[in-house]
Structure 1
Amino acid sequence: METLKRVLIALFLWPAALLAQDGSTSFTLNEAIEYAKINSYALRDSEFEIQKAKRLVKEALAIGLPQISGSASYNNYLEVPIQQIPGDFIPGGQPGDLIEVQFQPEQNMGFDVTANQLIFDGSYIVATKSVKVFLELSEKLKTKTEYEITNAIIQLYAQVLVSEENYNVLEESAENLRTTLDETKALNTEGFVSEQDVDQLELLVLSTENRVRQADRQKSISQNILLYTMGLPLETDLALTTPLEDIVDIAGEETLVGDFDFTEHIDYQLAENQLRTDELKMKNEQAAYMPSLSAFYSYQQNSQANEFNFFNDGVWFPTQLLGVRLNVPIFTSFGIKNAVAQAQINVEQSSMNVERVGRDIQVQVQQARDVYYQALDNYQTTEQNLELSRRINDKELIKYREGVSTSLDLAQAQRQFLDSQSNFIMSTYNLIDAKSNLLKALNRY
């Protein structure tokens, strides 16, 4: 039902609802996540694994069902085997002589149908349980992949927005600086400012334009990674419609600090699944001590002739056979015993791993919470710093244009503002990244 829901969402989203007025493909964050869950290579591969696991279940069950096979054969003796018998075996023969005879007709044909039915085999019982556990493992691995894809899309979506915001801020700053440079050159021509002021501003413009080019390249790289992760062609003109501030509020505080049960975490469940798998493997080794019982039935038709006339004048002789087969292991030179002992060790290792994974999850959650709160503090601090540096820069620009400030003071204020802007944008991304990682650690996507 969940898969059908996602397919329907993808059908509605692509291409009609995703085509913006300008021809670009637009996605909200949730739309990008849902689209990736349908089209990402990792999720599609997980779905293939589930399909294979389902087939494996059916294959294992089929072993306990009737197995019917048939065969047909035709033999033509180009040279019929010759046998020698004592002469006194044949009337008129002389004792001591060897007479050559041919008992085998030149040609023979036959066919048979055989049916086998497994009645009891301990390994079969274990196998049917094991494949179901394997199917459950495949489904849980897909769930884990969905969590990882969701986490990746949130981070990449935010990274693209951060790259675009950084580019826009730098481009706007570069444009403002170019305007200020033109004004300064005019003032220099009139003799109101020195050549050094012009050089200082030109240096600042060149530096900012270089940062603009770097930001543009970073924006392209981030978008390509997002497109690839979503399963979209790299030439897609992508438009992201969820603003950064909305992504910052992707989950409420109550979601991040609420009670947490590590036994519900997907990694813990995978560890438990591995433990059940190893327990079944041990039972399978133990089943080797048990006998196996099967029944069989065979029906044959055979005909022999010196000419190929089986379907005309040939005489066919039927044979039917019904029986049971019991296999009982008696002595294996302790091979089974050692196999069971190895399987027992694997069970103990997996049991220890379940405990370790539980503790690891608790540690990861605590670390993710600490990183989140640190990122939140840094976000709030850089937000305040940005507002202060903006006011300082605006005042310094006014003072410069009024002739009461130098180009060095303006350049310093401009660099301080750009650094504050970059720090704030990066802290915004770090907060989103930390919150997304915390949600992943909490298993709450």
Structure 2
Amino acid sequence: MSTVTPASREAARPDPESSARPVSRKAPIGFAAVTVLAALLFLLAPHDGAALFRVSGGGDVIQVPEFELDSGITTIVVLILMVLLTAAAALLVQRRRRVPLWLIVLFALAFMIGFLTWAAAGASTHVIPLSGLLAGAISLSVPLIFGALCGVLSERVGVINIAIEGQLLAGAFTSAVVATATGQPLLGLVAAGIAGMLVAFVLAAFAIVYFVDQIIVGVVLNVLVIGLTSFFFSQVLAPNQAALNTPPRFERIDIPLLAEIPLIGPMFFQQTIIVYLMYVAIAAVYVGLFHTKWGLRLRAVGEHPQAADTVGINVRRTRFWNVSLGGVIAGMGGAFFTLGSVGAFNKEMTAGAGFIALAAVIFGQWDPIKATLAALLFGFASNLQNTLGVIGSPVPSEFMLMLPYVVTIFAVAGLVGRVRGPAAAGRPYIKG
């Protein structure tokens, strides 16, 4: 007769935390879908030849040798690796464990190596300039990252910010006019932050003070800013191009020693002051949110405003000023279009960047670092279409144009899994 001890009874009891833990099957399903599409692409439309990957630019002090990958061998190896990673993700989900971020990154990296090799092997120019591809991705990601930081602040404090697009566009318009009129790009950057803050003021006033639906206010603000900037561009800027729409752009600043590092240097340390301010903003938002009293109060208001009010936090004021701070950050991101990239304002030049930034907020699970990585992914997808066009890839131009948006949809719908935003986001707080 066997004796059941309390210890053995405890060991045999199922772990309630493990059985109740919500695990999404989206990651393995998404992996499987991409693997099937990659197999169809690589096996049914193979490209003979090899792709040459150029790591260093022509002006780099340290030159890294180019390397070549055979298209047939590389795509087969990549497909095998993708199948193994898909099986690993499915096994983790079956054991009710989350698919780690590094596994997703490894899967995406494997697919990208295979896709770039396949695309370059079938192109008229078989050279992939990695330094240019990644540096361009950083540039296209800058407004997305500023917009994502704005969205993280707003939603963490309890306000859904659909108006990121309008704040970016207002910043781009204002920076162009002020920088042109004064001849000082720094003044244009400051004016852009103020313009973004004013748009955020309107969002905060209607959503926080008058309890208007936050999503409706955000959509209306986007339409209003698009209409106003388009009207002033046609009626004021276009007839006075030289006087009002030829802003001086920021010069690139090379960081000594760091700028000479192959691949990394041109990406991160040969940039304009706006990009360096972006680095500061990422660090400040992250440290502020999770390591300061200000961040604790902000998150408390976004999660449980009643409890925050009980301990003496002014919920309305906290929401109002943090939404406004997010507007300043988004406005500065809009200035990148005119002071760091294009050089002149055009109608609707943000081209939906605010909505992609909002997707980065969700994909990044309302965390500034993860949202930044998501924005970098979307920026890379945007620059990839340019690179494929330059090398003469046979990939249809229509597919390349929709590539950033396909990546956005797939990332948010296929890889995010089950996420929970701030509990009080979108809910007006009525005291009493």
Normalising to structure 1: TM-score of the pair? 0.22
Which is strand-richer, 1 or 2? 1
